[in-house]
Chains A and B, each alone.
Chain A
Amino acid sequence: MREAAVEVEHVSKKFRLFKEKNNSLKATIMRGRRVVAEDFWAVRDVSFEVARGEAFGLIGENGSGKSTMLKCLTRIYRPESGRIAINGKVSALLELGAGFHPELTGRENVFLNGAILGLTQKELRRRFDGIVEFAGIGKFIDEPVKNYSSGMYVRLGFSVAINVDPEVLLVDEVLAVGDENFQRRCNEQFADLKAQGCTIVLVSHAMTSVQNMCDRVAWMEHGRVREIGDTRDVIEHYTGSVQVGRETDGSGHPRWGSGEGQVSRVELLDEAGRRVDRLVSGAPATIRIHYEMHEPVAQPVFACYLATITGQPVSAPNTRAEGCVPDKLDGLGHVDLRLDEVRLLPGTYDLTPVLSDLTMMKVFDQRQNLLRFDVERGSIHEEWGVTTLSPRWEIAPEG
């Protein structure tokens, strides 16, 4: 029998947007009412089901209602209408270490946080050593948590939440914190939990983690579910739609920067210098960035961020790393990025050109995913991954 672990039926959640918020009696009495409010439906008529043991992703742009939906699932928000049923023990990771009290020690906070997540003292005592060990806190466990580094704080919070053996785990973007080592361990833990049959609902912007973890995905837009289905399909439609939206509306490009100089367009050229719309794996190619400086710009740096369409970074060649920085640029011109060999494996990639100052901290112009292009099969015959190391194999049998 396929029993649903999470059932969401026609859930709507409204927020009141306060034009002016009064928290004082005086203002209330003077005006005769408390607030001047406008309704805003953050979640509208959302329905979905998550099967037991399934990993389910909620994706969408900022303000699409995915985090609000998750907070409804955790019961932090009470929806206006609709029904939510969760079958099984729930643990939520909304913000790691959210329940910590700064004056109390790590030990005291573990017990408090564990109790919030529904563990009894007995269970907590049994798991305590494991929690501390996983967090890597060591002897600091008896120090007040306000003396912890942010990393220790987050690790301890994660360790408690993950050690309650949840049947349903609700996660919001927490994977984005901590160092790489910690993130890797988080991902391993999620994979373990999933293998043990834990149901996971994940809200994330990072398409890579959604792609890696989730079986199915719901794409939310303006508070409604736009599409539910197989992870790969939905993510493709989602990233595709974002792309289409940009192309049809030139001014709607996600683009930022101070604007002293700008990237006007990007072109792909083949070996012979002809404009092409796709590259060939293993063949030479040139990426040409056209710029326009509105004033003399000292020591500009050009960079080319390459990523897969799911957002996985591939490479980011830049002129500074190659020591190719002019003293000053003004007016129009272009920069060529020459590749002796396109080392990308066949697939679709997004290119983000960035124009910045020498520190690369001050961005003059960044045009997110300005160009999407395909790489077709050529002289490279590898299949796994996104790039090649251009390997040379040697086999040396002995005897």
Chain B
Amino acid sequence: MTTLAEYRSSRELYNNLTLRELRSKYKRSFLGWAWSLLNPLANTLVYTVLFGVLFHAHPPAGGPSHLQVYALYLLCALLPWNYFTIGVMGSVGSLISNANLIKKTYFPRELLPASSVGAALVSHLIEMGLLLVVLLTFGDYWAIEWLPMTVVLVALTTVFGLGLGLLFSVLNVYFRDIEHFLSIFFLLWLYATPIVYPTTVLAGHHLPGTHIPALQVLEINPMTEMASMFRDTMFYGRAPGGWALLYFAAWALGALVVGLRVFERMGARLAEEL
């Protein structure tokens, strides 16, 4: 059993693994760190042209900030989403790509997926910091006021990503399909979440052949709450819904508990299975 004391004593190792992740990612690339910013920028460009310009998607009005810029509306939810998927997808391969380390040395194995999430978090914080500066230049001072709540949301997203990362990383050792399955799953999940389009697009629509409102179905997806809450605190400058917060927190903690348990159970034989 990995004990709490062991977690504490492996903090140094955790920092090192995270640093290694960050360093090796952009080693020998000319632009280095800049790549972690160029990717979301390219995404924003594509979605803004596609949805903002071609489909005339407008951010729903509201909140004290009165912002109307689609690109910013998009980024406030897209950056957390990207962080979440990069964290989970990075974790999923982390055990297999560190097979040598696992087979030859001992340390709490949870550190490997956790360091993938940690590395993603570092990039995410830089991106969010830059986004905050941009929001301020657009006069959205409320984003500062709600910054503590944004930090809580980032923390919850981290917990959620870590939970899924632990779960899928260890499953992936036993079933290598998981990695391929997840990349498709996350693509579908992105479009099942109102991130690149505003929820207003779906207003009045029902599930095909039923009387169930599409919006209601969408809200089952915890990432819908995540996206809307990040927009509340950053884009609109208002408090996120209490129920949304509870619902998302429940998912995040649930994922962490399940992830840790499965990891503990299936992680015992890692050195043999890899």
Contact = CB atoms under 8 A, between A and B. Distances in A.
Interface of A: 15-16, 23-26, 28, 34, 71, 74-78, 92, 94-95, 98-99, 101, 103-104, 108, 111-112, 115-121, 144
Given A74-B106, A75-B106, A76-B103, A24 B271 contact: no
B23 interface: yes
Nearest to B100: A98
Interface of B: 9, 12-13, 15-17, 19-20, 23-24, 27-28, 100-107, 174-177, 181, 268-269, 271-272
Nearest to A79: B268
B100 A112 contact: no
Contacts of A25: 175, 177, 181
Given A115-B12, A118-B9, A120-B12, A76 B177 contact: no
Given A25-B177, A108-B20, A99 B12 contact: no
B105 A92 contact: yes
Given A23-B174, A111-B16, A112-B16, A76 B105 contact: yes
Nearest to B102: A76
Q: Give the top 9 A-B pairs by smallest Cβ distance, nearest first.
A: A98-B104, A115-B13, A115-B16, A75-B106, A25-B177, A78-B268, A23-B176, A76-B271, A112-B16
Nearest to B1: A78
Given A24-B175, A94-B104, A99-B101, A116 B13 contact: yes
Nearest to B24: A103
Nearest to B107: A116
25 contacts: A15-B272, A23-B174, A24-B175, A24-B176, A74-B106, A76-B106, A76-B271, A77-B271, A78-B268, A98-B105, A99-B101, A99-B105, A101-B20, A103-B24, A103-B28, A104-B20, A104-B23, A108-B23, A112-B16, A112-B19, A112-B20, A115-B12, A116-B107, A118-B9, A119-B12
A298 B175 CA distance: 56
Contacts of A34: 174
A106 to B, nearest CB: 13
A99 B268 contact: no
Given A77-B272, A115-B13, A118-B9, A94 B20 contact: no
B112 to A, nearest CB: 12
B91 to A, nearest CB: 18
Nearest to A144: B27
Nearest to A93: B104
A115 B107 CA distance: 10
A320 to B, nearest CB: 41
Nearest to A28: B175
Given A23-B175, A23-B176, A24-B175, A95 B104 contact: yes
Contacts of B104: 76, 94-95, 98-99
